[in-house]
């Protein structure tokens, strides 16, 4: 590895360590850790993405993510579609959306894309190949669908804290999940699926080879994603109790919100991250087995496990 490559590797591991540390330490102060962790994911995604896909492809993902996310956020604030009726409280804004929201979509989106790829045996590496295989035809849709599900999974475990408790954005008509409407989660899946699908098609059309690296390259975003889920544990332990009232006048228990978000994360985001770690741990053995196992001769019958051959 070149000196520049070693430097990027060190930088990525440092950013990973910072993100994981923030996720576990910031909640001990009684503040939710998602925002600082997601902001760290922006430089991480820029460095990691240029190395894995090249500057041209990474900049395309950045641009289309910013455009798609801002378009649908503004559309929903104005019309209620696709997320629901809400408004942001922070400044400064790009039209109706605070300027940090777009980069957060990019950073979290890139991380979820890689976690999904890890779960699907590095499916992104097959999208840039010139050979059209059955696996690639499946992955070009399956990978965006799974990445969008991972994005939505994170939002299910965090939106009520950020909005109902934190007031970063406000749901004007309330909703059943501690003040958040179900349309928000359907909208999150739809919007993130759109920009993931656009990126997947771009990779297949551009035929840009993806730099398949060691396990560490995919382990880094997996660790950050898992830490985001685990951050709800110290937050539940340290956050002050109290009641919050949404714009519909419904009173919610802050303690119940924190506890519910922790349970959701512990049985969704965290197990998915653990599964991705297991998949990465067995990555080298699967590659070795695929390369060394001889294919059966033409006409050779391979007995099904449990069956006995006739003498």
Domain boundaries, the chain: 9-283
For tokens 């939710």, the residue is: 32
For tokens 């939106």, the residue is: 159
The confidence score (pLDDT) of residue 308 equals 45
> What band does 291 get if pLDDT is binned at 50, 70 and 90?
very low
Q: List pLDDT tens digits, range 92-107.
A: 999 999 999 999 999 9
Whether the upstream peptide bond of residue 36 has omega within 30° of 0, thus cis, is: no
Arithmetic mean of pLDDT over the chain: 90
**Which value, to the nearest 10 degrees, does the dihedral of the CA atoms of residues 37, 41, 44, 46 take?**
-160
- 71-74: long-range contacts at Cβ-Cβ below 8 A with a sequence spacing of 24 or more? 72/187, 72/191, 72/194, 73/97, 73/101
Using N-to-C axis directions, what is the helix angle for 55-79 and 34-53, rounded to 10°? 140
What is the average per-residue pLDDT within 45-73? Answer: 96
The residues facing 243 across adjacent strands are 253
pTM of this structure: 0.90
Q: What is the DSSP letter of 92?
A: S
Q: Which of 10, 2, 34 is nearest to 165 (CA)?
A: 34
The confidence score (pLDDT) of residue 13 equals 97
| Angle in degrees, CA 43, 47, 123, rounded to 5 | 110
* Lowest-pLDDT range of 36-40, 135-139, 244-248, 305-309: 305-309
The whole-angstrom separation of Cα 122 and Cα 139 is 10
Is the model's pLDDT at 289 over the cut of 60?
no
């Amino acid at each position: 590895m070149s000196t520049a490559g070693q430097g990027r590797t060190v930088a990525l591991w440092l950013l990973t360590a910072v993100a994981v540390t923030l996720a576990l330490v910031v909640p001990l102060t009684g503040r939710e850790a998602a925002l600082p962790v997601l902001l760290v994911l922006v430089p991480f995604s820029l460095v990691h993405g240029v190395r894995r896909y090249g500057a041209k492809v990474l900049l395309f993902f950045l641009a289309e993510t910013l455009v798609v996310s801002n378009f649908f956020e503004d559309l929903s604030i104005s019309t209620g579609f696709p997320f629901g009726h809400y408004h942001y409280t922070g400044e400064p804004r790009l039209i109706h959306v605070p300027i940090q929201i777009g980069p957060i979509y990019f950073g979290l989106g890139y991380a979820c894309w890689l976690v999904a790829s890890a779960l699907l045996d590095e499916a992104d590496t097959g999208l840039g190949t010139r050979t059209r295989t059955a696996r690639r035809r499946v992955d070009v849709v399956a990978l965006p669908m799974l990445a969008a599900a991972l994005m939505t999974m994170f939002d299910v475990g965090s939106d009520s804290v950020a909005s109902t408790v934190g007031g970063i954005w406000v749901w004007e008509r309330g909703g059943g999940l501690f003040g958040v409407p179900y349309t928000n989660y359907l909208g999150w899946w739809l919007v993130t699926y759109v920009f993931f699908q656009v990126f997947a098609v771009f990779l297949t059309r551009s035929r840009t080879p993806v730099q398949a690296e060691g396990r560490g390259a995919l382990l880094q975003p997996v660790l950050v994603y898992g830490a985001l889920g685990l951050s709800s544990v110290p937050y539940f332990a340290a956050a002050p109790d109290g009641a919050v009232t949404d714009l519909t006048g419904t009173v919610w228990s802050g303690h119940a919100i924190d506890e519910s978000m922790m349970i959701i994360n512990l049985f969704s985001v965290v197990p998915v991250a653990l599964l991705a770690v297991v998949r990465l741990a067995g990555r080298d053995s699967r590659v070795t087995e695929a390369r060394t196992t001889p294919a059966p001769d033409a006409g050779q019958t391979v007995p099904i496990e449990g069956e006995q051959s006739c003498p």
